[in-house]
Structure formats: C-alpha cells, structure tokens
Amino acid sequence: MSTVPGRRLAAADAVLRPVRAGNAFEEAVEALLRTIRLGVVSPGDRLPPERELASRLGVSRATVREAIAALADAGHLTSRRGRYGGTFVVSPAAPTAPLAPETAASLEDVLVFREAVECGAAAAAARAPLDEADKQHLVERQKACAQAADYRPADSRFHLAVAEASGSALLLNAVADARVRANELLDAIPLLPRNIDHSERQHRGILRAILAGNPDSARSAMAEHLEGTAALLRGFLG
C-alpha cells in the first residue's frame, strides 16, 4: 500500500484546512471525507499521520483519532499496525443509503432554510413569556433526547418544542417542514456516537439560553449546533 503521493500534498493543503473550534469533531470528519471524495487520498492510500492531520486541521490528536474511528466504523477507513501500518482508505466516501438526485441537489437549500427558521425559533422562544409548564416541557424534551434509544425522532421533538415555545404557529410549521427535509438527508448518513454526545451538550446550551431569556445567545447556540450537523451532511453527501 502506498502513502499519499507527493504530487497530492498541495491538494491536501487545500482540503485539510483549520476547522472552527465549536464543531471540531464534525468538521474534522467533513475534512477527511473531502480528501477522499476529491481523490486526494485514494482507496489503498494511507492518510497522513495523526500528528500532521491535527496540525493541519488545528485540532487535538484526540479529535483526529475520534474522527478516524467514526469513519472506520462507517466503512471508509481501516487502521493497520506494524512497520507499514497507518490509517488507509478502503472505499470511496458514499452515502450509507441511496439518496434521490433531487434530494442531494437540495442539500444547501435545506441547510439555508433550516438555519433561518430554527435560529429564529430559538431566539423567539427566548423572547417569549414562558410559564413554568412551558419551561418544564422544554426541559423534559431535552432530557428525553439525551436518554433516547432512537435518537433522531427524539432530536426532532426537542427542536419542535423549541419552535413551539416561540408561540408562533407559522414558525412551528416552518420548523416542522425544515426537520422533515433535514431528516431525509440525515437518514442517509450514519449516526456517530461522538456527534450525539456533542449535540446533547449543545442542546443544553440552547435550553439554558432560552430559559435565561437571552435571544442572542439562543440564536448563536442554535447556529453553532446546526453548523455541526451541516458539516457532517456536506461531508457524507456533498
């Protein structure tokens, strides 16, 4: 097995760029998938060492290790020990389920729509005069999401609860539509345990901002949360 050919190192500079700290794991996964999709590292080639990847991406080696493990579980990478060991590409990056062409083409449209309505819903919920029942409902939805065996439906219920707390039926309908469209895409990629743990920390941040009545913080926390999901979708499906 060969390592990444030297002629491809300039291309690696272009695709393995520093990521943002807020979603380091998700964006590291996206960057590694991008190197595979663009042929910078082909099937049979070895990835650069963890130390180099960490330096290029501006993340810790632990984050690189977690991203590699997630992609190994998804079937794109394999690790070998020994003198000629390392992390190797074993297949082209591809969706884990067939994706209709029209759905794939709408990826960016869905992401823009989702950001607009869900960030707005979080800010509106923080501005709304929530009573104790409203607040308890949000807390229960967040806790149920964290404990769910079937994560994505519970995740949707939390996001819909945020929109419901805004008090706007029109906004709730828009968020429901955005979730349906986003879930069509999410169902085509694997669930990554590291991403779920990160998402739940972000859910708690969104909840805290709403309960504190801070619209700017709620909008910002939701935006960062959605950016992490967007990074994974672009990586696997883009």
pLDDT in tens, 206-236: 999 999 999 999 999 999 999 999 999 998 8
pLDDT in tens, 127-150: 999 999 999 999 999 999 988 888
> Which pair of tokens denotes residue 102?
């029209």
- State which fold the 6-89 domain adopts: Arc Repressor Mutant, subunit A (1.10.10)
Backbone phi and psi for residue 11, each to the nearest 5 degrees, phi listed first: -65, -40
Is the pLDDT reported for residue 172 higher than 70?
Answer: yes
Q: Which CATH class is domain 101-237?
A: mainly alpha
- Helix, strand, coil share of the chain (percent; to 5): 70, 5, 25
Backbone phi and psi for residue 106, each to the nearest 5 degrees, phi listed first: -95, 5
* Domain locations along the chain: 6-89, 101-237
Tell me the whole-structure pTM to 2 decimals: 0.78
Taking the alpha carbons at both ends of the chain, their separation in whole angstroms is 28
